[in-house]
Each structure stands twice: as structure tokens, then as C-alpha cells.
Amino acid sequence: MNIIFGPVNSRRFGKSLGIDLSPSKKQCNFDCLYCELDPAKTIEIYEDVISVQEIIEALTLSLKTDQDIDAITVTANGEPTLYPYLSELLDEIEKIKGSIKTLILSNGSRISDLKVQEALMKFDTVKLSLDCATNRCLKRLDRSHENISVEDIKQGMLSFREKFNNPLIIEVLIVKSINDKKEEIEALNEFLLTLNPTRIDIGTIDRPPAYNVEALSYEELRAISLQFDTSLPIYIASRKKVTKKPSAYSNGEILQTLKKRPLTQEDIDVLFDTESKDRLNILIEEQRVKAVYNAEYDFFVCSE
């Protein structure tokens, strides 16, 4: 059983070790159409539970082998907040991790549970998924376990946000013809404006999905990002399916584009041709455009 995986190097988190809280099989209260794991019956409680001691022993060993770890990412073949000893596990990790940062990737379904909130409060960064702000979409796309309601999830996120002062990142995965519709984006936009997360990552299917569903292109994701309020800190996280070539932007077009939605360097690499990048650099020198740091990314914004 591989409880610990990695390390993986990422520009955002540096050298990161992963902890899989469900290494034996998929244990999840969702059965998302886009899941990279095989379809599985949803569950409410873990059937296979590994002990905190087992995890800590494996982690201690990995930390001895892999020096200079920057982050520990808690995840699962399924949903990590279903692990019954999450809070206790974090207390034990705290004792051995030194200055290493902790991050959890959760589907957000259990965030209204105060015990789950208590465990998540112990992380340096919490990343929660929210693909849908309507129950109809949650049932269709995330195929959630019975009794899970989007209203509970939203209320839970709001109450958690009030007390959690570290970065809270929301991940929205968009699937073609399912949650890319105007009414679903509007519902998400309305809720996210109230939640005010540190960052919103918008992505699409990057790996072969459990069911027959389709990804969006980068350009389609960008069009969707423009439907959200301009004040929301949106980062387009998937750029594998780029269909168009980089384009030429005049100074005015660059400023207009940034007014509609701040861009990261990765967006600029996809959208701008070489001359447009040179124009952008001049606009930065002239202080008409500035870079604003937001939870691991620099976003270029118009300063006019």
C-alpha cells in the first residue's frame, strides 16, 4: 500500500509529498463523471481505514529519505475528509513536519460538519472543489451520495471562511454541456461573490474520465471566466487544449483585456504573440500595468 507518494515538484508548492488516506481503493461520497479513478458506489464512511500511526511511520520514513520538502498534500483515492481521524492525524503531522506547509484537497462535501471544519483549520492551505451551485448540477455531475445538498455545502463554506484566515482556494471543474451553461455559471458567480475565497481555479478534464464526458478548450474556459464578476480572483488552471494560435494585441486591447479579467503569465503565453508580450512589458515599465500577487500567482492587472 502506497500511503505516501511523490515527491513532486511544482512551481506553486515547491517539493511536495502526498499522503493518500485511502490507498487500498476508491472511497468517496461523490462519483464524479470526470473522476480519473474508475466509477465506484458512493459511500458515507470509510470501509478501509488506515491508522494514524501507520501514516506517521510512512511519512517519517519519507521525510528522512526526501530532504527539503516544502509541502505535505493530504489527499485520497476518494474524499480525504471521510477519513475518521483527520484532526488527530494533523496533530501528529504537526509534531514532525517542522516548517513544512500542509495542504488538503477536498471535494468540499463535508464542510458543514463542525468536526471537519475543526480538522481543516489545522492546514496552511485548504482547497475545496465546487463544481456546481445548484443541486440539479451536483447530482448530475458529481453524482453525490444521497443526503448531500448543495445548500449545506455552501453554508458550510461560508461559516468555514469566516474563521479560516489562511488561503482558501476553490476549484471549479467545468465539463462540456453540463456545468458550462449560463445559469450554472451565474449561480456559482453569485455564491463565490459572497464567499470571497483567496483564489478560484477554473479547470476542465485533464485525464481520461470515468464516464464519457468532454473537456473544454482553453478558449472556452477563458470565455467562461469572463462570465464571472471581474472582482473574483480567477485563475485558469487547464491549458492543455489550446485551439487558437497566440494573437496580436495593441496597447489598447491589452489594457481592455486586463480590465475584463487579470491574466497570469501562463495566460499571456497562450494568448499573446511575441510582439504583444513586448508591448505588455513596455506597459509594465510605464506602470500602466502591474503584477499583483495572489496566493502563489502573479496576476497582471491594469493600473489605469
Could you list the residues that contact ligand SF4 (CB under 6 A)? 28, 30-32, 35, 37, 78-79, 107
In one-letter notation, the amino acid at residue 44 is: E
Q: Give the nearest distance from C-beta 65 to ligand SF4 in angstroms.
A: 27
Closer to ligand SF4 by CB, 18 or 262: give it.
Answer: 18
CA 130 to chain centre: 9
What value, to the nearest 5°, has the Cα angle with vertex 97 and ends 92 and 102? 90
Q: Give the nearest distance from C-beta 301 to ligand SF4 in angstroms.
A: 32
213: Cβ–Cβ under 8 A, 6 or more apart, which residues? 33, 34, 175, 176, 178, 205
Q: Give the nearest distance from C-beta 128 to ligand SF4 in angstroms.
A: 11
Report the C-alpha gap between 254 and 52 in whole angstroms.
52
Closer to ligand SF4 by CB, 171 or 184: give it.
Answer: 171
Q: In 3D, which of 90, 179, 94 has the Cα closest to residue 132?
A: 179
- Residues forming a β-bridge with 294: 297
What value, to the nearest 5°, has the Cα angle with vertex 145 and ends 143 and 148? 100
Report the C-alpha gap between 173 and 214 in whole angstroms.
12
Cell numbers describing residue 275: 510582439
Q: Give the nearest distance from C-beta 86 to ligand SF4 in angstroms.
A: 16
Q: Give the nearest distance from C-beta 19 to ligand SF4 in angstroms.
A: 15
- The alpha helices in 49-146, defined as continuous H runs, are 52-65, 86-96, 114-120, 135-137
- In terms of DSSP bridges, do strands 4-10 and 14-20 run parallel, antiparallel, or are they unpaired? antiparallel
Closer to ligand SF4 by CB, 110 or 161: give it.
Answer: 110
Closer to ligand SF4 by CB, 108 or 197: give it.
Answer: 108
Closer to ligand SF4 by CB, 176 or 290: give it.
Answer: 176
Cell numbers describing residue 271: 494568448
Q: Is 6 left (phi over 0), alpha (psi -120 to 50) or beta?
A: left
Q: Give the nearest distance from C-beta 108 to ligand SF4 in angstroms.
A: 9
Closer to ligand SF4 by CB, 32 or 192: give it.
Answer: 32
Closer to ligand SF4 by CB, 125 or 257: give it.
Answer: 125
Closer to ligand SF4 by CB, 143 or 222: give it.
Answer: 143
Residue 128 near residue 169 (C-beta atoms within 8 A): yes
Q: Give the nearest distance from C-beta 125 to ligand SF4 in angstroms.
A: 18
Q: Give the nearest distance from C-beta 53 to ligand SF4 in angstroms.
A: 25
Residue the block writes with cell 478558449: 219
